[in-house]
Amino acid sequence: MQRALEFVPPLSAAQPSLGWQTLIDLHDCETPHLDDVTWVRAAMLEAAVRAEATIVGERFHRFEPHGISGIVMIGESHLAVHIWPERKFAAIDVFTCNSALKTKAAAAYLTNMFAATCAKTLCFKRGEDTGEAVTDSATVPPGVVAMGPETGAGCDELYIDTDTESEGHWFVSRGTIAQRQTAFQKAEIVDLAAYGKALVLDGDMQSFESDEYMYHEALVQPAMCLHAAPRRVLIIGGGEGAVAREVLKHRSVERAVMVDIDGEVVALAREHLAGWHCGAFDDPRLSLIVGDGHAFVQSATEQFDVVVIDLVSSFDGGPAEALYTRDFYRCLKSRLSPGGVLVIQSMECHAGTWRDHARVRNNLAGLFAHMRSYQLFVPSYGCPWGFVIVSDEADPQAALPSAIDGVIEARGLREGLRFYDGRTHQGLFALPKDLRLLLGAA
């Protein structure tokens, strides 16, 4: 089962397009409000707001005995809906002549509000002169991958992780293992043919069974190995339990505190992602707190040797954004013991996409004696991923491979690490020239 299915045709070298059209089919909607025109109107208007569209009008109508049609007119075009309550189905059409609108945010909001079990999305350009015409529903537009019985894959077997309106990654899915609408997000665990299990939050892929060890070792181990004797560790986020797993590999750790706002995601991980946490939730050294990481740090008096932040990427006004601010980092510094190390998941990081990473750096600038960016290519992400590590004592970039290997041997970690060692550490911090120039000028 899929959450979002998007086919994005390639850019045309002929006439530029007049706009983007997104068609969203919401199946098996569980909301009890499918025949409530007031509720539907409010949901569609809010979707337009979340898309950052300019609302200029609206009209909604309830049919007898049931069914609703409606349209929100926006300065950039429209959002329309038709609902068949008896089939628990809603068809939504979003057209915009402004590619900067956040149509993905609108689609995710409506999927969650309608509590759709399955959401299928078709996204394409309108008015683009390609020299070829689409005349009926059986015609496959140029550049669109045809998926059906003749290809061995039905549409319900595709899971699309959309980055922007013009880019995304598709995965063949073998089905949904579990899903839950929590108080904060829609959480899913899907089974992908190429990468195994994957955790998905609000339609965004988080980590994959086949290569999560690369990401989590790269996030945790440089900070842990840079500290001379990490005994107390704070983890903010990391609901899968894999960050805790990496931290607890160090026998010197006496206490690890993990704070995650979404206990239901943690519960899903405990049940279905044993390969991620490897029993870390049952380690007596781990104290799990379900709550707001920002509030915890503000009220805590305990000092920590290492702090690891593994939150969803967020500069979109969501609840996690408060944990990417300079004020929060300043407060975190007061929770670090002398010689402490802080490391932060800092989003996609390469010459094509680097501005969010730079914002993390800018919010940390001047707070610590040493600040370094590092990155690794995660195969399932299809791009390099970035981290920022800071400390007043240790410069991570100056650590020699032999020194890192010595720490790994002394702590008995060599057999337990699949990705990280001294040479890997050195490579992580060897950023390419174009990215160094961009980050240096930001």
Angle at 203 between CA 289 and CA 49, to 5 degrees: 100
Report which residue type is found at 328: F
Active site residue 292: no
What is the full DSSP assignment across 115-171? TEEEEEEEEEEES---S----STTPPPTTPPP-SGGGT--GGGEEEEEEETTEEEEE
Beta bridge partners of 306: 233, 341
- Through-space distance between the first and last CA atoms of the chain, rounded to whole angstroms: 42
Between the alpha carbon of residue 129 and those of residues 17, 272, 364, the distances in Å are: 7, 48, 47
Between the alpha carbon of residue 119 and those of residues 97, 146, 226, the distances in Å are: 23, 18, 45
Q: What's the rounded Cα separation, in Å, for the pair 114 and 27?
A: 9
Angle at 376 between CA 372 and CA 377, to 5 degrees: 155
Report which residue type is found at 329: Y
How many other C-beta atoms lie within 10 A of the C-beta of residue 30? Answer: 11
Peptide bond into 85 cis (omega under 30): no
Residue 204 and residue 191 in contact, taking contact as beta carbons nearer than 8 Å = no
Q: Which of 211, 260, 262, 310 is catalytic?
A: 310
Residue 333: its H or E element: helix 326-335
Check residue 14 and report its DSSP letter.
S
Q: What's the rounded Cα separation, in Å, for the pair 342 and 234?
A: 9
Check residue 350 and report its DSSP letter.
B
Active-site positions?
310
